[in-house]
Structure 1
Amino acid sequence: MEHVTSRDGTQIAYQRLGEGPPVVIVGGAMSDHTGGLPLAEALSPHLTAVVVDRRARGESGDRTPGIAGTVEREVEDLAALVEAVGGRATLVGASSGAVLCLAAAAHDLPVDRLVLFEPPFATEQFPPVAPPDMPEQLAALVTQGRDGDAVELFLTRAVGLPAEMVAGMRQSEEWPAMMPLAPSTVYDAALTRRYPRAEAFSSLLTPALVLHGEGTWPLLAASAAALAAALPNAELRAIAGGDHRLDVPTAAAAILDVAGVD
């Protein structure tokens, strides 16, 4: 892993594969850079694919925790990363990572194009599920050392998973591995609170490809459609996959297509 220093002194960890124009892959909630590795490997024969541990995840730190300025700090992280890998890049974001990529472009980062997979925007059909003070609730639990409760709260009240499903997850062997990601939930909750609906980006002119899986949850298909309609320079495509899982072969093919790679 390589590291770049963000504006507040936080070290942000990343890994790059391949050679060519840079593409930065930004993951969603409850994930680190490893979630983007299959897509990066698929892109690496043609592009420099960069996967990143967002702030408070994996090998990346967080020298300035707290609610105020959360979105700006993550945008500054991406600004430092884009500068480190060539000065301009295509941003590929999944779920809340797609919202962060939109925020980065809206803050005038040097972004050539956006590829956005199933950002979780609210729509008229599917209103917000998280309470307005979700970031504060999560931050309080993390401060108290109640990481498991923070993850459970995020999954039930922000993501919208059934309580019985999350209760079962707490008994699984995979649950302890999720605990180090608890502080990162504050960032995801703050990001989606700042940008609850796609219309927040209606003046963003950056070329964008908006993707959703053919079998994904209806609310995420509706969100993708709303974003494509709101952006002035966007294309909407349905690709293989479902349940909010990125189908790597069809996603890679779509990214190479918009990047002009044969």
Structure 2
Amino acid sequence: MTSYLTSADGTRIAYESTGSGPALILVDGAMCYRDSGPARPLAAELADSFTVYLYDRRGRGESDAGSEISIEREVEDLAALAKEAGGSPYLYGISSGAVLAADAAARGIGTPRLAIYEPPLIVDDRDREPLPADSLERITSLVDSGRNGDAVKSFMRAVQVPGFAIAMMRLMPAWSRLKAVAPTLRYDFTLMRGLQQGNRPPADRWSTATMPTLVIDGGKSSGWMRTGVEAMAKAMPNATYRTLPGQNHMVKPAALAPVLKEFYTA
């Protein structure tokens, strides 16, 4: 059942919870929300051990967009949900949501343990071209001019979806859903600004996230992705880096859940 909370700037955020046990918040990546993405299947795998909180990041699903696109406002949304969950929930994020989770942890939302899966950092140009420095401005321009389909295509190219696959997706019913959520790409490109341009992550961005942190990638993921994940693990003050054999960016909940249970209950 959907519940709602009000973030610090007055934005209404939709969330739900399932299971029983210590509180655990799941943070989605780009284009994803409760009804479209990996959170709900993962929550089903974790519900026997945790009270799992899923929420729609602002601007998607049943959450309002708010009046400002910034890391600070998204952290405030997470902080409000953390308070709702008892004040010290475990935290897990995937893809750009992993960066948001790390930012929230560093800014003191009170999580005792943080786990993140494949934050999509691009830290060199060995396996792929870094994204242009004005990627956020390009996505914003497409959305502002009503070209949501082009914004989705631009994002898909950025994450290296093959051209034939993008062409096929445009013929599927899901394409309309993707176009509807395209404006939220501005939030994710804001989160990732400076982290996908071929440089190592700044040493101070997560320096205050001193809680035990598990940084995970998949053994079948692209080389550039795994290089970036390892770089983020090195940037976290108290991180353990782990690879899940046979997994890629679309990690299977049944493979990930036991690793998270082991980490959070250690």
Give the TM-score, by structure 1 length: 0.91
Task: Give the equivalent residue in structure 1 for 2:210.
Answer: 205
The equivalent of 2:54 in structure 1 is 51
Instruction: Note the aligned Cα RMSD (angstroms).
Output: 1.9
Structure 2 partner of 1:135: 136
Cα distance in 1 between the residues matched to 2:155 and 2:85: 32
Q: For the Cα contact (< 8 Å) 1:129–1:160, is it kept in 2?
A: no
Give the letter for the 2:51 counterpart. T
Return closer, same or farther for 1:190/1:251 CA change in 2, 3 Å cut-off: same
SS in 2 for 1:75: helix
Greater Cα offset, 172-181 or 49-58: 172-181
TM-score relative to the length of structure 2: 0.89
Residue range with higher mean Cα deviation, 91-100 or 127-136? 127-136
Aligned in 2, Cα 1:71/1:128: closer, same or farther, shift over 3 Å?
farther
Give the aligned residue type for 2:214: L
Alignment correspondent of 1:223: 228
**Alignment of 1:232 onto 2:237:** yes
Q: Does 1:252 align with 2:257?
A: yes
Name the amino acid aligned to 2:7. S
Structure 2 equivalent of residue 113 of structure 1: 113
What SS does structure 2 have at the residue aligned with 1:41? helix
Q: Which runs of 5+ in 1 are unaligned?
A: none
Give the Å deviation of 1:94: 0.4
SS at match of 2:130: coil
Other-structure match for 1:153? 154
Give the Cα separation in 1 of the matches to 2:129 and 2:88: 34
Which residue in the other structure is 2:192 paired with? 192
Aligned pairs (5 A) from 1:75-86: 75-86=75-86
Q: What is the count of residue pairs matched by the alignment?
A: 257
Q: Equivalences for 1:30-109 in 2 at 5 Å? A: 30-34=31-35, 35=37, 36-66=39-69, 70-109=70-109
For 1:249, give the aligned amino acid: A
Contact 2:214 2:242 in 1 (8 A): yes
Q: Is the 8 A contact 2:103 2:206 kept in 1?
A: no
Percent of matched pairs sharing the same residue: 38
CA distance in 1, matches of 2:95, 2:65: 21
Gaps of 5+ in 2: none
Structure 1 position 110, deviation (Å): 0.7
Is this contact kept in 2: 1:239–1:247, CA < 8 A?
no
Instruction: Give the match's secondary structure for 2:215.
Output: strand
Q: Secondary structure at the match of 2:76?
A: helix
Larger helix share, 1 or 2: 1
Greater mean alpha carbon deviation, residues 121-130 or residues 215-224: 121-130
Cα distance in 2 for partners of 1:163, 1:252 equals 32
Q: Which runs of 4+ in 1 moved over 6 A?
A: none
Alpha-carbon distance change, 182 to 65 in structure 1, aligned in 2, over 3 angstroms: farther
8 Å Cα contact 1:241-1:247 kept in structure 2: no
Residue equivalent to 1:28: 29
Distance in 1, matches of 2:53 and 2:211, equals 20
Give the Cα separation in 1 of the matches to 2:148 and 2:214: 35
Output one character per residue of 1:83-120: Cα deviation in whole Å (capped at 9) or x when no partner.
11111111100000000011111212111111110001
User: CA separation of 1:216/1:136 partners in 2, compared to 1, >3 Å: closer, same or farther?
Assistant: same
Q: Distance in 1 between matches of 2:189 and 2:129?
A: 12
Q: How far apart are the structure 2 equivalents of 1:152 and 1:146?
A: 10
For residues 7-18 of structure 1, the aligned pairs below 5 Å read 7-18=8-19
Cα deviation, residue 81, structure 1: 0.7
